[in-house]
Structure 1
């Protein structure tokens, strides 16, 4: 039986960003240097395939420091942690390695600097997301107010409307965030914003590629985990940019083929914590059903690299 023809649009850039790549290398290097087990507080990045792979190599994933023994190394995830976590680890004389993405650390430093200047912080982010929890936990309770939507801005109870600054989670929708920033600036004209966009380069680049791809593709598959903020934003951005069907899949087995019946083109991208091997798996699954022609949609090139902490670069 002849396979129907299909154009496969591949977004570039897609998949791993420099912060995710660094975090995974940190766990692997810690296992090499200290041996197994190495404990990791929270999923190192939000991807089941990556976490399972590291677990097989000897990483033990826990939710809290209480679940770690004092005598084994512990790694903090790429999303960042509240200040209380390294403080507790130091008090217990634990060996800990911080895998917080440097672009998340930049937001932490920014929030602290504004706090030192007497400003209260407004954080644009998702309640309960580990990055939001980590950033808000850099300052004492009440010093960071959270907003998730433009509507939340109207209910903000600021200490002093003239002494405010805002920061954002690094993995948000660029367009949604712009709407919230506009609402903040309308209500608090003197609010101070970041010197440079807090939403990271990788999030922005992947969303731009999806917007370009949405103009070409009948449907879109975003490879990523349900708890990955940046992956879920890619689904929303694709739908908003005109791609009538936008689906999040962890693995090829998750693809809803019935929903794709009758289409002639599919766009594929991957969130910043999804490895390329999963993209290849999805492409192979599409090839099995269609006569595929691959086209690339490239909107940026990335050559960012972050060093791992010195403690892991030093030989034992």
Structure 2
């Protein structure tokens, strides 16, 4: 799933490619992706792109006062095309193509979604805040306004909620998903199941630094990369996420996993839980 660093870099890449160009045609191939009806998609045709920005994990293409917004969900991505086929795309269950944008020089973008579970969302709105998911976003952790006091209030308000879930909740902190919450907690030497309001001062300081450093470093590495390079860059720098069974790059212990119904988390027992493996209830049931 694209998270804050990849979406930030993707927005920057698209800004350079789209700035000053006109949107001539927009083909919605997967109609389930379109979540709005007013303004219609056709209102964007003939508009000039003014800016491309990010709100949490949302991409916002602003064109002549309208906003074309995408949430890429778990398996979505945006691919640049130096040349767009002359014939418009046809809906197909076998094709990952969801939306195609055609520019005035016949270049364009393909917005795709892999897999069978379709969650990608597209909005055409007059204000970014008209998208419910954007209106409800928590503070952006890379903004200067995200201070220790802000994080402290978030953790206190979360009470005994597990810190992993607090970091991932978009209404609490914008932009952090499954992968970077794993990486942040590993850097902070903290169990993903630790209650949010139970941190002492040393633990709190490590967590705040890890949020800023892990996300900031990932953004710095990704800045300037083309969209096609971002997934590989992310994967190559992960310490624990997606590395179950491999050696922790910090201590050498084996990275472990806890599985849930539709996701999983990864962690290092030595670095994060005092050497004690966390209970994986789904695996425990399978072994009985």
TM-score normalized by structure 2? Answer: 0.28
- Give the number of the structure with larger relative contact order, counting CA–CA contacts within 8 Å between residues 6 or more apart: 1
TM-score normalized by structure 1? Answer: 0.26
